[in-house]
Amino acid sequence: MVATFFLLFVLFCRLFYIQIVWGKNLQTKASDQWTRDLNLTALRGDVVDRNGEILATSSTVFNVYVRPNAVKNKENTAKVLADVLGLNFDLILQKVTKKGVSEVLIARKIPTLVVNILKEKGLTGVYFAEESFREYPFGDFLTQVLGYVSVDGIGQTGLEAYYDKYLQGIDGTLLTQTDLVGKELDGVQYYLPSQKGLTVQLTIDSRIQMIVENVLDLAMYQYSPQKAECIVLDVTDGSILAMSSKPSFDLNNVPRDDLQKLATYSKNVLLTDIYEPGSTFKVVTAAASLEENFLGRGGFDENHVFHNNSRTRVVDGSKISCWSTHANGKHSNQKLSDALNNSCNPIFTDIALSLGKNTFYKYLEAFGFGSKTNVDFQGEQSGLLIDQSLVKNADLARIGFGQSVTVTPLQLCLATAAAVNGGILYQPKLLNSIVDQYSGVVLTNPSVMKNRAISEDTSKKLAQMLEGVVSNGSGKQAYVEGYKVGGKTGTAQKFENGSLAVGKYVSSFIGFFPSNSPKYLVLMLVDEPIGQNYGSVVAAPYAKMVIEGIIDVYDVAPQE
């Protein structure tokens, strides 16, 4: 009895292990033996602009398979497949008659129309597996921002990569029961449908983006620069309305066979590359001076007159010159607004030195320099600031007019926006919301106010001064009749191998409007233009084109 009880106990334990512990694994193995499955790739979610315009979408194509054991008339099947798909008959026949395999791939990415023709033929042993095909309706448009996907539909760069977990859908499958040798059992199929990915809605306005793309193409044609770049920003909340750089490529024809071209042209240089901003940085220096004076801690107000008889300054043995010769007393006595209009380097050198490195660096930090903007994008750089403890007077003097400091174009946009929008530094954003096609909005991306850089009073004064730069100063070619436009030009000589590169400049203009109540900001950069190099001549006219486009799209009424 003891022996019998022991044997029954061992048998019970074995059955428990097989049924409970090992059961699911055995069921899976059994299912694999009597079924064949085809993966149904889920459609990738759409990317749309702020108005719902589709920027990236996916369509269903099919992969065609043959299960040789299930094909009844092999020659006829091979002939039909070859004729409809435009393939070689002998090669198809080899696959159809192949032994020792459960299924063979015949063709990939076949359109639905062609698949429907094959289905009408009633071929046995021929199967169709859904696959997602990524399409970009506008082609070479928003290339570096959208990014591209791999051949398997996985985000590789840009927003396709950053929001990949939302865009990826859930794959389905088609299960078919078969007999011992792999022949299909009639009418025994199980269909688990795929689920499309979520829709990513951006802050981008495709109408403004189209204007920017066309203007940059024009700049590339007229000046043959290394690059031409532009950002359009909503200064009231940090939303990016347009962002592009040229050259680029058609997202429907990704140059995967040219890795150097792919790496160079797919990089979003507006937030991954840094440069010395030059005179556009004087907006920050002016803001710091006005704010310190407003707080009663020094600085210079809008009425202070700078007696600027010399066109040069010598700081710690380093000579700093104005672009103007100061002939006939030109630039001699200037207020801050005049210094902005004339873009006079020595005055901004004086301002930076009067503020001192501790105070000036406090404002650099408040305006976001030296740290990332935290935009929702991969690869952002933080720019370069000399460590405060290492800053010499010569360094400080040059930082005052945009040298010895490097920034990303996006950083400069956010800082300038803070200088004129009432003093608020916002975190930029490209995402507006994530939307499910059935349940609606599942995630929103609210505006984030990082800090107050300057007071509202200082901001208004500065915006008014910068309006003068466009109406009376170096930014005249960005002036739009009937509208209050403010801005600042910049012409920065590039550094290469630790020294100034002869004849190589970054020409820029950063502008905003309406200047009495700023809403839109435009940064235009032309890197190494041929024939001209002043930002006032090269960049400002293109910025004007973008501003005129914004006025037209949003039907902005003229101002008195």
Q: What is the pLDDT of residue 227?
A: 96
Task: Judge whether 412 and 277 are in contact, CB under 8 Å.
Answer: yes
Task: Judge whether 226 and 528 are in contact, CB under 8 Å.
Answer: yes
Q: What is the pLDDT of residue 112?
A: 87
pLDDT at 188 over 60: no
Which residue bears the tokens 């000036």? 360
Q: Which of 239, 248, 279, 536 is catalytic?
A: 279
Give the predicted TM-score (pTM) of the model.
0.86
Question: What digits encode the pLDDT tens for the residues 439-454?
Answer: 899 999 999 999 999 9
pLDDT at 483 over 60: yes
Question: What digits encode the pLDDT tens for the residues 513-556?
Answer: 999 999 999 999 999 999 998 999 999 999 999 999 999 999 99
Q: What is the pLDDT of residue 12?
A: 87
Rounded mean pLDDT of 501-513? 92
How far apart are alpha carbons 532 and 514 in whole angstroms? 29
**Strand extents, DSSP E, 459-519:** 486-496, 499-513
Domains located in the chain, CATH noted: 34-202 (3.90.1310.10), 206-250+263-553 (3.40.710.10)
Which residue bears the tokens 């981008």? 204
Rounded mean pLDDT of 43-72? 92
How far apart are alpha carbons 488 and 482 in whole angstroms? 19
pLDDT at 29 over 70: no
Average pLDDT value over all residues in the chain:
90
pLDDT at 177 over 70: no
Lowest mean pLDDT among 114-118, 213-217, 328-332, 551-555: 328-332
Asked about 279 being catalytic, the answer comes back as: yes
Which residue bears the tokens 């460590």? 387
Helix (H, G, I), strand (E, B) or coil at 475: coil
pLDDT at 314 over 90: no
Q: How confident is the model at residue 170 (pLDDT cuts 50, 70, 90)?
A: confident
pLDDT at 189 over 80: no
Structure tokens at 463: 């915006």
Count CA atoms closer than 13 A to 77's CA, side-chain side: 25
Question: What digits encode the pLDDT tens for the residues 122-166?
Answer: 888 888 887 788 999 999 999 999 999 998 889 999 999 999 999
Residue, of 491 and 499, whose pLDDT is higher:
491
Structure tokens at 118: 């094959």
CA-closest candidate to residue 409, choices 267, 252, 237: 267
Q: How confident is the model at residue 37 (pLDDT cuts 50, 70, 90)?
A: low
Q: How confident is the model at residue 357 (pLDDT cuts 50, 70, 90)?
A: very high
The helix or strand, by DSSP H or E, that contains position 474, with its residue range, turns out to be: none
Question: What digits encode the pLDDT tens for the residues 367-421?
Answer: 999 999 999 999 999 999 999 999 999 999 999 999 999 999 999 999 999 999 9
